[in-house]
Structure 1
Amino acid sequence: MSVVTGEDTICAIATAIGEGGIGIIRISGPEAITIADTLFNSKSGKKAVTIPSHQVVYGNIVDPNSQETVDEVILFVMRGPRSYTREDVVEIHCHGGPVPLKRILALTLQQGARLAEPGEFTKRAFLNGRLDLAQAEAVIDIIRAKTDASLRVAVGNLSGKLSEQIKDLRHAILGMIAQLEAAIDFPEEDIEETAAAEVARLITRVSSRLDVLLATAQTGKILRDGLATVIIGKPNVGKSSLLNALLRENRAIVTDIPGTTRDIIEEYVNIRGVPLKIIDTAGIRDTADTVEKIGVERAKELVGQADLILLLLDSSSPLSPEDRAVLALLPGRKAIVLINKSDLPPRLEMDEVGQYTQGRLVMKISVAQEEGLAELEEAIADMVYSGQVAQGEAAFVNNVRHAAALRQARDRLSDAMATIEAGMPTDCIVVDIRSAWEKLGEVTGETVGDDILDQIFTQFCIGK
C-alpha cells in the first residue's frame, strides 16, 4: 500500500456481501466523525460530532443532496485511540441488504472518504501500535478458522501468546549482544573469552526454546490450512462411502458400478478438531474411458501433494493388480491403510499386504457397518498432534512465514556457536547473533520491510 496511515479517511463495508439482518459500514481516520455527521440524523437530535466515545445512537442516514432517507441505522462512535485502528472510527449499522449498504458507502465516499484497500483497517492498527504483526495475522486466521481447534490457536496468537515468546527470545538475544559489545568496547578488561563462553551457554538455551516452538509448526499449519487428505484405492472399494461417512452426509454418489467417481470431490471435515481437506478420487485402474482416465491421472497427482493418504483395500477379495498399483504409490508418503468391508468373509492375504505396508498403520474397518471409524478419527488426531500439548494451552506456530523466520533465527544462532567454537573475533559472533535477533523481529513486525507488509495485508478482505 502506498497510502500512509492517518493522512486520509477510509471506509468499507465490513460485513459479508449478501442479505443479512445487519450490515456494517466502517469509517476510520481524522474525518470519520465529521463525515458521519453530514449523513446522520439522530432521532434525539444529537449531532454525530457531539456523541461521546463508545456510545450508540439511533437515527437515519439521509442523503445531504436530496434529503432522502436511505435507511434506519444505529451509529457507533469510537474516538481514537480507543478504537481498532487507534484513529477515530465510526460504524454505521444498517439493514443487511446489498442496496442500503452500497448506497450508504457511496455517500461516505462522496463526503471525502476513500475506499479502504484489503486489510487496511488492520494495517493501521499495526502501524499505530495496537497490534504487532503476528497478532494482525491472527485476525485473518480467526476469520478463516475451520474448526474450534483452529479458532483457539488463532485467538491465542491474537492475544499475544506467540508474540510474548518471540519478545522474550529477542530480549535474551539482545542481552547476548550487549555482553559481546561490552567485551569489544573494553578490551583492557580481558573479558572477551568469558563473554563468549556465557553467550555460548545462552545460545544453547535460546535454540532449545526455538526448537520447542518449531515443533508445533507442522501441527499449527494443519490447524490453520487443513490436512490435505486423499482417499485412494481401486474402483468400488468404498472410497466415496468413506467420504460420506466422515462428512456424515451423502456428498458423493455411491453405487455398485465401478468407476462411478470420475472427477475429484473435495470437502472439509472436522476430525477431533483437525480440519481435514479430504479428497475423494477416481478409482485407480487401467481404463479406456477418456473421462475416467483423466480422473485416474489426477488422483495419482494428488497423492504426491497430499499430507495424508487413506488407502482402502477390500477385505472380501484377494489382492488384485489394481491394489498393487495403488500400494506402489505409498513409498515416501504418510499413509493409513484401511482394510474395508471387514464385516464380510475375509479373502485378503494380510501377509502379502504387509510386504507393502511395513511401518504403517493398518486398520480394519467397515464403512457400511460404521465399524472402526471412531478409531480412524482418533488415529488421525494422534498423528497430527504427535503427543504435543493440547491446542490452546501453549503458543502454536501456524504460519509458514513465522516458521521460516524462526528456522532462520535458529540457523544464525548455530552459525554464531560455530564462530565461537572456531575462536573467531567477537565482532564476528555479534554479526550472526544480531541477524538472529532481526529474523525474530520479522515475526512481530519490528524488523520487517514494507514489501512484506503489503503482501501480508493484501491477503485480508476489504473492511478488515
Structure 2
Amino acid sequence: MVNNMKMDDTIAAIATTLGESAISMIRVSGDKAIENISEIFEGKVDLRNVKTHTAHFGRIADENGNTLDDVVCIVYRKPRSFTGEDVIEICCHGGIHVTKRVFERIIETGIRPAQPGEFTKRAFINGKIDLTQAEAIADLIKAESDRAYITSVRQLEGKLSKDINKIREKMIDIIGLLELELDFVEEDIQLIDKRKVNDMIFETLREVESILKTYKFGKLWKEGLKVAIVGKPNAGKSSLLNTLLQEERAIVTEIPGTTRDFIEEKIIVDGIIFRLIDTAGIRETNDPIESEGVRRTWKIASESDIVLFVHDCTVPVSDEEIGFLKKLDELNTKAEIIFLNNKIDLENSHDETFKTGYESIGLSATKRIGIDELIGKMKQFAVTGDIGEGSSVIITSERHYSALLKAKDGLIKSLESVKHGESNEFIVVNLKYALDALGEIVGKVTTEEMLNNIFSKFCIGK
C-alpha cells in the first residue's frame, strides 16, 4: 500500500508495459540510485562520475559477472530530474524474461520495488509539480479521447494551478487587510471599506463558480456518457449495439431472451466517449437467471445518462412498455430517454410513438436507417450547456469539484457576514475555510490520507 512508502528509500520499477517489445525501461530514483546501479553496470565509464542528462551504453551483469543484457543507462542528477532526486533510467531489450531478470538484479543491490504513484509523489513532495499536475499525469495516461487528452495536457501545463493560485492570492490579500484592521479595533480605525470587501469577495466567488461550471464537460470528456440500451426481448437491442460499434459484438438471434447479462463497449464520436451497454430484455419471467438480468437492466438504466428504449415497431406499443417508460422516468429523472421505433424497414411496421409522449426516432438497426440521427441526438445531449471547448480551464476531478464547492460555501458565508455587519473575525474564519479548500486542489493543504488516496490510483513506475 502507498501509505507504507519510506521516502528516503531508493526505488525502482519497470516503467514500460511488460511484454514483447523492442525496448523496456526500468526507472530508479533515490540517493543511492547512481551508486547502486554502478555496482552492476559495466561500460566505458563509471556512472558515479558522469554528468547529468547523459546516456551510456554497457551491460548489466549478475553476481558472477555474467551478462544479463546490453543496456543504455540515462543519468539524471538531482535536482534536475522528474522526482527531484538522482534518477537512472535503464533501457534494456523488451522481452518479458530479460526485463524481469534485469529488474531482479537491481533489487538485489538493496533498492526496493516502487509502489503505485511513488515516483510522482516524490516529484510533488520535492516541489517539481503541484497536486493538480500530478493528477494530470494519471489522467493523461488514461485518456481515451482527444478531448480528454487535451484537458489533461492543459492541466499538466499548470493552467488550472495558475487560476486557482490567482484566486488564492486575492483571498490572502483580503484576509490580510481584515486581520490588520483587527489590530486597530480599539482605535476604531477602518482600513478598508466593507463595500469594497464585499465586492472583492463577490468577484472571487464568481471566479470559483466559473470554474465549477466546467465540471460537467470535464467529467464528460474524461469518463464519457453512460448509454443504456433497453427494451423488451427481441426488440433489436443487440443489433443496435452491433450497428453502433460497426462490428458483431453481441449475439443476435430471433429467440427472445438471448442477452441475459449486459455487454459494455464504447464508441468515440467527435471526441465524446459514449459507453454503450446492451442489457437483458425487460419482461416478467420465472427464469431465475433471466430475472437477475432484468434486475441488472433496471439498475444500469437508473445510473445512465442516456437511455435508448428500443421498440419493435412491427407490433403495437404495449401497455407494458408504457409502464416501463414511466418506471424509467421515476428511477432516473436526469437521464435523456430516447424512444427508438426499430425495424421500420419491414413491411408490417407502423408508428405508434404518439402513445409514449416521448420524442422518437424511426430506425432500422440492421439497415443503418436513422443511425446518424440517433448519434446526432446523443451528441446534442452531451454538449448542452454554457461552457464549451473554448474554456482554457476545465476540471475533470471529483476531488477538485468537491473542494471548489467547499470554497464556494465559505465565500457565500463570508459575504453573509459582511452583509450582516459581523466583525472581521467571522469574515476571516469563512474566508480561511475557502482558502484552505482551494489549497487542497493545488496541494498547499494536504493530509497523508489525501495523498495516499490520490497516488494509489497511479500505475507502478509512474
Q: TM-score, normalised by structure 2?
A: 0.94
Other-structure match for 1:108: 106
Aligned-partner Cα distance in 1 for 2:93–2:397: 36
How many aligned positions are there? Answer: 454
- RMSD of aligned alpha carbons: 1.8
Shift of 1:411: 0.5
Partner of 1:330, secondary structure, is helix
Percent of residue pairs bearing the same amino acid type = 39
CA contact (8 A) 1:284 1:322 kept: no
Task: Give structure 1 stretches of 5+ with no counterpart.
Answer: none
Mark the CA change 1:392 to 1:47 in structure 2 (over 3 Å): closer, same or farther. farther
Aligned-partner Cα distance in 1 for 2:446–2:29: 25
CA contact (8 A) 1:303 1:329 kept: no
Aligned-partner Cα distance in 2 for 1:373–1:388: 27
Partner amino acid, structure 2, of 1:58: F
Partner of 2:356, secondary structure, is helix
Aligned-partner Cα distance in 1 for 2:324–2:142: 34
CA contact (8 A) 1:224 1:398 kept: yes
Mark the CA change 1:84 to 1:335 in structure 2 (over 3 Å): closer, same or farther. same
Which 10-residue stretch deviates more, 307-316 or 162-171? 307-316
Partner amino acid, structure 2, of 1:101: T
Mark the CA change 1:51 to 1:374 in structure 2 (over 3 Å): closer, same or farther. farther
CA contact (8 A) 1:78 1:88 kept: yes
Other-structure match for 1:14: 15
Aligned-partner Cα distance in 1 for 2:390–2:47: 41
Other-structure match for 1:431: 429
Shift of 1:124: 0.3
Shift of 1:409: 0.3
Aligned-partner Cα distance in 1 for 2:31–2:118: 15
Where does 1:291-306 land on structure 2 (aligned, <5 Å)?
Answer: 291-306=289-304
Q: TM-score, normalised by structure 1?
A: 0.93
Where does 1:24-423 land on structure 2 (aligned, <5 Å)?
Answer: 24-42=25-43, 45-63=44-62, 65-187=63-185, 188=187, 190-191=189-190, 194-331=192-329, 332-337=333-338, 338-344=340-346, 346-354=349-357, 357=358, 361-391=359-389, 393-423=391-421
Which 10-residue stretch deviates more, 240-249 or 379-388? 379-388
Aligned-partner Cα distance in 1 for 2:350–2:375: 26
Shift of 1:436: 0.3
Shift of 1:48: 1.8
Shift of 1:347: 2.0
Partner of 1:381, secondary structure, is helix
Partner of 2:266, secondary structure, is strand
Partner of 1:74, secondary structure, is strand
Other-structure match for 2:438: 440
CA contact (8 A) 1:233 1:283 kept: yes
CA distances 1:392-447 after superposition (whole Å, capped 9, x unpaired): 75211101111000001001101111111111111110000011001000001111
Mark the CA change 1:392 to 1:33 in structure 2 (over 3 Å): closer, same or farther. farther
Which 10-residue stretch deviates more, 144-153 or 436-445? 144-153
CA contact (8 A) 1:183 1:195 kept: no
CA contact (8 A) 1:234 1:322 kept: no
Shift of 1:189: 6.0
Mark the CA change 1:333 to 1:316 in structure 2 (over 3 Å): closer, same or farther. farther
CA contact (8 A) 1:196 1:426 kept: no
CA contact (8 A) 1:72 1:94 kept: yes
Aligned-partner Cα distance in 1 for 2:391–2:81: 29
Aligned-partner Cα distance in 1 for 2:360–2:202: 40
Partner of 1:328, secondary structure, is helix
CA contact (8 A) 1:152 1:392 kept: no
Partner amino acid, structure 1, of 2:442: T
Aligned-partner Cα distance in 1 for 2:114–2:279: 41
CA contact (8 A) 1:272 1:377 kept: no
CA distances 1:30-77 after superposition (whole Å, capped 9, x unpaired): 1111122112122xx1222233222222221111x2111001222111
Aligned-partner Cα distance in 2 for 1:363–1:58: 64
Partner of 2:19, secondary structure, is coil
Shift of 1:2: 4.5
CA distances 1:363-406 after superposition (whole Å, capped 9, x unpaired): 33322221332232233233223245544752111011110000
Shift of 1:24: 1.1
CA contact (8 A) 1:272 1:378 kept: no
Partner of 2:81, secondary structure, is coil
CA contact (8 A) 1:37 1:48 kept: yes
Shift of 1:247: 1.6
CA distances 1:2-45 after superposition (whole Å, capped 9, x unpaired): 4453x221111111233222211100011111122112122xx1
Partner amino acid, structure 2, of 1:214: L
Partner of 1:176, secondary structure, is helix
Mark the CA change 1:316 to 1:206 in structure 2 (over 3 Å): closer, same or farther. farther
